[in-house]
Amino acid sequence: MSTRTMGPGAGWSWLARAVNLGRHNPRAVIGAIALVAAVALVPSIVQMGAQSALGGSPDTLLTVIGLTTLVSLVVFPLLIGGALRVIDAAEHGRPATPTAVFDTFRAGHGAGRLIGFGLLMTALYLAVFGTLIGTFGQGLPEWYMQLMQLSMEAGGKPVQPDDIPAPPSGLGMVMALGLLFGLFLGGAYAIGFGQVALGGRGVLAAIGDGLTGSLKNLLPIVVLAILSIVALFALTLVVLLVGGLLALIGGLVHPALAIALVAPVYLGMILLMYVVMFGVMYHMWRDVCAEPVVPPPLPGNQVEL
């Protein structure tokens, strides 16, 4: 299956269409993505609960983080595939419900391919960034562990700048190359996931399509990243202003009212970010890999010029 090369303006198109995602069936699309966002909170809740119940030792926390990460590597590829299928059904006018996001957990819905793709892409991420750190970031892992140790010893208090050790000399190079490879692999992840979930491709073929499609479209992906950063900054500023105003008004009555007023604003921001993320994934795949949309036939008395 061939991949297409899009112009730089495609980056803007992906973001704009992602913001407008769900216009055909908002209940199904927004509901499905809200379910994914709710499940995504579970690992953090489990980690905090386990840390509180078992004692806040670093070994306990690392064990819980490791276990929840392993479960996430299996669960989230299924949820991502389910969300993309709900979006595709809505975009094509097929019946869809929010709970259809869990259909990928059932037999016969390609669960093995979705999980396999997620695992192999995770391994590719680790290999690429491990190579970058090993080549340009000597001393970076040790420096990061020192920061973690300082944070744990501070017990939630801010770490004093004088206590922070000097970063290794290769940090800037690792960050620059990490950003470039992160954008490339992020594009490959979105395109390849669409191929597995919607294109019927095998795991290795989908990874190949994702890498090829991302390389061909690196310029619009960079444009997308720049626009996303600007949009996220603007959204965060608006949410902080609105949330701060609501907190001030609610606090005049009772702290609980302030929380009740502010929580929906921040939850809405999180949901919007998930909607845009899945929308970008879907429309990127659709432009790069899906079959072009066939225009409707002309009336019998007209000819195409």
pLDDT at 294 > cutoff 50? no
Residue 191 located in a structural domain: yes
Residue 64 corresponds to which amino acid? V
Scored b (16 or more CB within 10 A) or e, 144-159 reads: eeeeeeeeeeeeeeee
C-alpha distances in Å from residue 83, one per residue of 65, 104, 188, 225: 25, 9, 18, 22
Residue 270 located in a structural domain: yes
Both tokens assigned to 33? 């993505």
pTM for this prediction: 0.86
Residue ranges making up the domain that contains 248? 10-288
Residue 304 located in a structural domain: no
pLDDT band at 22 (very low <50, low <70, confident <90, very high): confident
Into how many domains does the chain fold? 1
Query: For 233-255, what is each residue's pLDDT tens digit?
Result: 999 999 999 999 999 999 888 88
Residue 293 located in a structural domain: no
C-alpha distances in Å from residue 81, one per residue of 15, 182, 227: 20, 21, 25
Residue 305 located in a structural domain: no
The whole-number pLDDT of residue 57 equals 61
pLDDT band at 153 (very low <50, low <70, confident <90, very high): low
Residue 152 located in a structural domain: yes
Cβ within 8 Å of residue 8, ≥6 positions away: 219, 220, 223
Residue 104 located in a structural domain: yes
